[in-house]
Amino acid sequence: MPFLIVLALLALPFAEIAVFIAVGRQLGVWATLGLTVLISLIGLSLVAGQGLTNLRRLQITLNAGEPPVAELVHGVLLFVAGFCLFVPGFITDVAGMLLLLPPVRAWLGRAFLGVLLQKARRGQAGVVIIEGEARETPSAEPPPPRVIEPTEKR
């Protein structure tokens, strides 16, 4: 998996250059550069607006005493969207614009948290493994989870 990520990161600049050349042939050099700058400015302003909205939701959730998991995931994905929009290129601009859509962020957030939870259950998350699950017993408190450090043998 890390090999695929490195390969994708190495291939992305070449793909961006190919798209720039194709768009530049159709629109011209100055129009292509102008379009890239315009998309970045519009996208970054949308990221800022959605970031402020997400910050308000985060404060409301914290004031209610609830864990702000969804707000933090949306915040991270908005940061990634801003980074994608800041980097010049049409492929990264499309990725950044897609991340501005709340349903896309919600879907990616659920997928990411699901993968992270599965890795944590298998002991591959690199932090700690929490064993034991809360049982639904109305009369008794569930036993506290047992934390196993990664260096401890099973």
40: closest CA among 98, 93, 99? 93
8 A C-beta contact, residue 83 and residue 11 = no
Task: Tell me: pLDDT of 112 over 90.
Answer: no
**What pLDDT, in 10s, does the model give residues 40-87?**
999 999 999 999 999 999 999 999 988 888 889 899 999 999 999 998
Per DSSP, the residues of 64-113 read TT---HHHHHHHHHHHHHHHHHHSSSHHHHHHHHHHTSHHHHHHHHHHHH
| CA angle, residues 58, 107, 95, in degrees to nearest 5 | 95
Cα–Cα dist 6/14, whole Å = 14
pLDDT class for 125, splitting at 50, 70, 90? low
